[in-house]
Amino acid sequence: MKSWQARLALIPVLVWAVATLSFFLLRAVPGGPFDRERASASREVEAALKARYHWDEPLWRQYTRYLGNVIRGDLGPSLKYRNHSVNDLLGQTVPVSLTLGAMAFGVAMGLGLPLGTLAALRKGGWADHAASLLTLVGVCVPVFVLGPLLILILGLGLGWLPVALWGSWKTAILPALTLGIYFAARVARWMREGMLEVLKSPHVQAARAKGLSETAVILRHVVPVALVPVVSYTGPMLADLLTGSFVVENLFQIPGTGAFFINSFFSRDYTMMMGMVLFYSVLLQVLNLFSDLLLRWLDPRIRS
């Protein structure tokens, strides 16, 4: 494995490669940001609009201009939302998506870890069967079914929770559940497998032989080791939570980045699209690096 310094140094190269690739790929798609249902008032008006966004320059000039701006940290103006820059839009929406992701992460851990632990301790019993049924359902039911179901029951039927929007803490419960339940089920399965593996290992026998109470054995000698597979899963899970929130954000009308994943392509908002791609490729790279470092620190076997 390469040193983390080397991986950090690779990030600018990654940014350049992603920016270049997405810049030219997007231009190859038919239709552009200025194709509108209503034609411009005149050719002069259309030309002025294109000149404002440097659309009248040769492609290589636009490309170097874009790269230069990216180096300065300026992702350019949005081509669709004409009163906003890409930095502005990301600045407004990223914190929302991160908050939603963090809450769904909380759901995944808060439900998944206890459920997995319980299932492993009661292996073969009814609790284990119930847990495995629950996790099966959690993994199988897609978000676009689970979300409307939760809205129908908890929002419209019982009237306990708001059906959409992003504001008070109540509004966050349904989206966090909808997004988090799938991951909770995955975490529960990892945790159960991990626990069963560890329970069989000699060091647990030794701890029991030492005369420790069963609770102490579980808490001190089983759970920490069983957590390793779960932690190694958190990296990809965080990535999925952050990029997979499109459906949930759309369903609950949450002002996060999700809307831009799809819409900025359909509206040919090139700068916004590239801004999203750049931002998320850097973020995911950093997250992966972080989860690798965490694992190496947790588990000495990986270090050697």
Partner 1 sequence: MIGRQVQRNALVRKTGAFCCLYWWVGLVGSKVSWSAARALGLALIAGACFFAGCSQAERADLVLHNGPEPETIDPQILTGQADGRIASALFEGLTRFNPTNGTAMPGLASHWDISADGLTYTFYLRPEARWSTGEPMEAEEVVWSWRRAVTPATAADYASQFFCVRNGRAIVNGELRDTSRLGAEALDAHTVRVHLENPTPYFLELAASRVFFPIPRRAVERLGDQWIRAEPLPCSGPYRLLGWRVNDRFRLARNPHYWDAAQVTAKRIDILSGDNPSTALNLFLKGEVDLISDRKIIPGELGPELAQRPDFHRFDYLGQDFIRFNTTRKPFHDARVRRAVAMSLDRSRITARITRMGERPSAAVTPAGAGGYQPPAGVLWDPVSARRLLAEAGYPEGRGFPVVEYTFNVGSRIYEQTGVEIQSMLREHLGIRVELRPLEWKTYLAEMSALNYDFIRGSWVGDYDDPMTFLDCFLSDSGNNRTGWKEVRYDQLLQAAAAEVDPQRRFGILREAETLLVTEAVPVTGLYSHVGLYAADPRKVGGIWPNRMDEHPFFSMRRIRP
Q: Which residues ranging from 41 to 80 are in contact with partner 1 (CB under 8 A)?
A: 41-49, 52, 80
Number of residues binding to partner 1, judged by CB under 8 A: 73
Under rule CB under 8 A, residue 259 binds partner 1:
yes
State the virtual CA torsion across 268, 270, 273, 275 in degrees, nearest 10.
-160
For residue 24, the tally of other CB atoms under 10 A from its CB is 11
**Which window, 9-17, 112-120, 129-137, 280-288, contacts partner 1 (CB under 8 A)?**
112-120
Under rule CB under 8 A, residue 168 binds partner 1:
yes
130: Cβ contacts below 8 Å, ≥ 6 apart: none
**Binding residue for partner 1 (CB under 8 A) from 95, 125, 286, 303?**
95
CB–CB of 183/241 below 8 Å?
yes
Q: What is the DSSP string of 14-81?
A: HHHHHHHHHHHHHHTSSS-TT--SSPPSSHHHHHHHHHHTTTTS-HHHHHHHHHHHHHTT---B-SSS
The stretches of the chain forming alpha helices (DSSP H) are 4-27, 43-52, 59-71, 86-121, 126-140, 143-150, 169-199, 202-209, 214-216, 223-243, 246-251, 258-266, 270-298, 300-303
Closer to partner 1 at the Cβ: 16 or 81? 81
Query: What would the x/- binding string for partner 1 be over residues 13 to 42, using CB under 8 A?
Result: ----------------xxxx--xxxxxxxx
The least distance separating partner 1 from the CB of residue 256, rounded to whole angstroms, comes to: 8
Query: What would the x/- binding string for partner 1 be over residues 261 to 290, using CB under 8 A?
Result: --x--xxx----------------------
Under rule CB under 8 A, residue 194 binds partner 1:
no
Under rule CB under 8 A, residue 106 binds partner 1:
yes
**Which window, 132-140, 151-159, 238-246, 285-293, contacts partner 1 (CB under 8 A)?**
151-159
Closer to partner 1 at the Cβ: 138 or 162? 162
Under rule CB under 8 A, residue 131 binds partner 1:
no
> Distance between CA atoms of 259 and 246, rounded to whole angstroms?
6
**Which 200-239 positions form the footprint of partner 1 (CB under 8 A)?**
219-220, 223-225, 227, 231
